[in-house]
């Protein structure tokens, strides 16, 4: 496994529901000492137990709504929030049903792959549902720096949006909340982009549908890639039509079968291999793997269009084979 960050064992100081789907956790050092600092957009990996007993890791962004200087330099607690996904593999159900105040949780020290950049113009934060969590910290950091920031926060219903009071206090008129149920439809992303200035940069975190829409709309408007920063808030899910396929590991000569509901990465791990990975969402690039043969169904946000078209590399945490057989150079 790729992760070399120090591991921490923290006590759950508080676990409470913010709304019917989102549960918030306050995590503190067992001896009450200060925790490693972090910057806005950082996440921690938390060890969870899946149904059946297997252990796995889930990423949760660190939430800090305080614009006070130094608020995240040596914090006395980490705050995370977990949306319950009943259709998921069980990580969020573990966090909702099993973890209680007083329990110990094993996490990795914070890591930031979604940091605010230095730029002129406004940081336009677009949050979809639980994707708000890293953006709360970004809003606080921009306010602390006296830098321009605006947030558009969308969800299906107002009841399912968390942290709205904190954001209202932080951002005032610079926060706009969109509840699909009240507005009669989803947030108008095109209109939102058309109101942005030429120096503005986007920070997007939300479900895949939202991210794909933002990427398509910014591309259609000629926005350069360096103006759009994002984090996808999902784990790989099976898509209609996913099938099992044969996976050949050319260097060892082994042949495995990747079932329809399993990623290549998980299949390798289950079969005793030790592949490199980190995000498991097709974003970080760590699991890039050379491909010798096979039709790749690219689903990541890391490789360029040219790299995808080459058919010579893939992100095994999320992408699959279209055909019956894939040969990897590992």
Site for ligand FES, rule CB under 6 A: 277-280, 282-287, 300, 302, 315, 317
φ, ψ for residue 244 (rounded to 5)?
-70, 150
Which tokens is 289 given? 């793997």
Tell the smallest beta-carbon distance from residue 82 to ligand FES (Å): 20
At 315, which helix (H) or strand (E)? Answer: strand 313-315
Tell the smallest beta-carbon distance from residue 91 to ligand FES (Å): 15
Nearer to ligand FES, 186 or 285 (CB): 285
Residue 233's beta-bridge partner residues? none
Cα 66 to the center of its chain, rounded Å: 22
Q: Calculate the alpha carbon distances from 304 to 46, 119, 232, 283 in Å.
A: 30, 24, 17, 12
Nearer to ligand FES, 28 or 298 (CB): 298
Nearer to ligand FES, 155 or 275 (CB): 275
Which tokens is 8 given? 């921490």
Angstrom distance (rounded) from CA 306 to CA 318: 18
Nearer to ligand FES, 231 or 278 (CB): 278
Tell the smallest beta-carbon distance from residue 99 to ligand FES (Å): 24
Nearer to ligand FES, 4 or 100 (CB): 4
Tell the smallest beta-carbon distance from residue 315 to ligand FES (Å): 4
Tell the smallest beta-carbon distance from residue 2 to ligand FES (Å): 8
Nearer to ligand FES, 27 or 247 (CB): 247
Tell the smallest beta-carbon distance from residue 166 to ligand FES (Å): 30
**Tokens 């921490």 belong to residue:** 8
**Cβ proximity of 181 and 157 under 8 Å:** yes
């Amino acid at each position: 496994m790729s992760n070399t960050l120090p591991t921490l064992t923290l006590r759950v100081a508080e676990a409470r529901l913010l709304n019917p789907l989102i549960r918030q956790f306050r995590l503190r050092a067992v001896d009450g000492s200060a925790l490693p600092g972090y910057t806005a957009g950082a996440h921690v990996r938390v060890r969870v137990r899946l149904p059946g007993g297997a252990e796995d890791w889930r990423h949760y962004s660190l939430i800090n709504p305080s614009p006070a200087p130094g608020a995240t330099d040596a914090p006395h607690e980490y705050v995370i929030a977990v949306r319950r996904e009943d259709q998921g593999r069980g990580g969020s159900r573990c966090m909702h049903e099993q973890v209680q105040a007083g329990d110990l949780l094993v996490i990795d020290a914070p890591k930031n792959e979604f940091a605010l950049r230095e730029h002129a113009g406004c940081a336009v934060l677009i949050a979809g549902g639980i994707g708000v969590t890293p953006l709360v910290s970004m809003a606080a950091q921009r306010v602390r720096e006296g830098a321009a920031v605006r947030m558009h926060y969308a969800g299906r219903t107002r009841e399912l949006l968390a942290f709205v009071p904190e954001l209202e206090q932080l951002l005032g008129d610079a926060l706009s909340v969109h509840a699909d149920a009240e507005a009669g439809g989803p947030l108008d992303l095109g209109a939102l982009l058309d109101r942005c200035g030429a120096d503005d940069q986007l920070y997007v975190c939300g479900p895949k549908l939202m991210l794909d829409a933002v990427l398509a709309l910014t591309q259609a408007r000629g926005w350069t890639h360096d103006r759009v920063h994002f984090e996808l808030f999902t784990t790989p899910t099976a898509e209609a039509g996913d099938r099992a396929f044969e996976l050949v590991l050319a260097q060892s000569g082994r042949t495995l079968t990747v079932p329809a509901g399993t990623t290549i990465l998980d299949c390798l791990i289950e079969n005793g291999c030790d592949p490199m990975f980190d995000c498991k969402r097709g974003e970080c690039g760590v699991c890039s793997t050379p491909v010798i043969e096979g039709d790749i169904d690219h689903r990541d946000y890391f490789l360029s269009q040219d790299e995808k078209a080459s058919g010579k590399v893939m992100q095994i945490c999320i992408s699959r084979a279209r055909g019956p057989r894939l040969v990897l150079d590992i």
